[in-house]
């Protein structure tokens, strides 16, 4: 990557947070699609996603103590999604600066002057993912007991046709939503901002939380859109995620640009 690619948007004073409208969300998605078409990355994500899905689904089919964690592991994919999208942010950043862009430029993020803060925040999201898995395991045992199910179908039958199973679905999804919205609030602006302005992780997270406080409704709607698209991608056994993740990554960059002056 040419050194000139690292041109930061250093504005005087603290960043100014804009108020979003529904049209801003639609525009971010449309521009995200444009970036994806200009520099397709679905092959990279297929190579990344398929081994993970194959491992999780294979263990589920075999039946094991890991069986209760199949859904938490797949759902928790969204908690580390911002880390996976780092290379996508870099592609959008380069296109915005007018540089030629290919999927190989995703790895240019490793040369960012803010790589230390990026790694620190990435580790915090990984820790959040581990915490979510622990909480999900605890909830399953609290509602379903310590018994190990012999098959995925037997486990799902008990979950879907018993009161304690329905309780697990309701409470588990509510707790999972809290984790997801926390990650959204912390990471929505912070990762793009560190690539763009080379600020510290603390400054980036502070700005991200400020953006969420200034736009709670719009960013909640954005979170619902992200969750729905990721769920749709998972419904196709992960194939759809190879399209959904890069499009959402590009769109998040453009949403950051509309949020932070």
Q: How confident is the model at residue 174 (pLDDT cuts 50, 70, 90)?
A: very high
Q: Which of 93, 68, 145 shows the shortest CA–CA distance to 254?
A: 93
Percentage of the chain beyond pLDDT 70 is 87
105 within domain boundaries: no
pLDDT tens column, 16-34: 899 999 999 999 999 999 9
29 within domain boundaries: no
Q: What is the pLDDT of residue 87?
A: 92
Q: Is the dihedral of CA 9, 13, 14, 20 positive or negative?
A: negative
Angle at 28 (CA atoms; ends 232, 42), nearest 5 degrees? 50
Question: What is the DSSP code string of 194-242?
Answer: HHHH---HHHHHHHHHHHHHH-HHHHHHHHHHHHHHHHHHHHTTTTTHH
Q: What is the pLDDT of residue 254?
A: 96
152 within domain boundaries: yes
Query: How far apart, in whole angstroms, are the C-alpha atoms of residue 253 and residue 162?
Result: 43
7 within domain boundaries: no
64 is in which domain, residue-wise?
42-93+112-259
Q: What is the pLDDT of residue 154?
A: 79
Give me the number of domains the chain comprises.
Answer: 1
Q: Which of 17, 201, 13 shows the shortest CA–CA distance to 113?
A: 201
98 within domain boundaries: no
1 within domain boundaries: no
Give me the chain's average pLDDT, please.
85
Longest dimension (CA), the chain: 61
Q: How confident is the model at residue 238 (pLDDT cuts 50, 70, 90)?
A: low
Say yes or no to pLDDT of 3 above 60.
Answer: no
234 within domain boundaries: yes
92 vs 73, more confident = 92
13 within domain boundaries: no
What is the pTM (predicted TM-score) of this model?
A: 0.84
- Report for 2-11, 101-110, 146-155, 177-186: range of highest mean pLDDT: 177-186
């Amino acid at each position: 990557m040419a050194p000139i690619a690292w041109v930061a948007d250093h504005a005087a004073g603290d960043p100014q947070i804009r108020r979003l409208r529904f049209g801003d969300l639609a525009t971010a998605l449309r521009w995200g699609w444009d970036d994806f078409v200009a520099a397709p990355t679905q092959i990279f994500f297929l190579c990344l996603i398929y081994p993970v899905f194959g491992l999780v689904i294979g263990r589920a089919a075999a039946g094991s103590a890991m069986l209760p964690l199949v859904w938490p592991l797949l759902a928790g994919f969204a908690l580390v999604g911002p880390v996976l999208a780092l290379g996508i942010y870099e592609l959008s950043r380069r296109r915005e600066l007018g540089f030629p862009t290919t999927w190989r430029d995703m790895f240019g993020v490793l040369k960012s002057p803010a790589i230390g803060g990026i790694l620190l925040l990435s580790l915090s999201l990984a820790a959040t993912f581990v915490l979510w898995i622990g909480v999900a395991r605890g909830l399953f045992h609290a509602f379903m007991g310590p018994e190990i199910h012999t098959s995925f179908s037997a486990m799902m039958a008990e979950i879907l046709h018993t009161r304690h199973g329905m309780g697990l679905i309701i409470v588990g999804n509510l707790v999972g939503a809290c984790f997801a919205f926390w990650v959204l609030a912390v990471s929505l602006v912070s990762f793009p901002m560190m690539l763009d302005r080379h600020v510290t992780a603390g400054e980036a997270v502070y700005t991200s939380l400020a953006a969420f406080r200034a736009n709670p409704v719009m960013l909640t709607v954005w979170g619902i859109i992200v969750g729905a698209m990721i769920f749709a991608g998972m419904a196709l056994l992960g194939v759809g995620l190879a399209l959904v993740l890069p499009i959402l990554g590009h769109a998040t960059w453009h949403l950051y640009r509309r949020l932070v002056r």
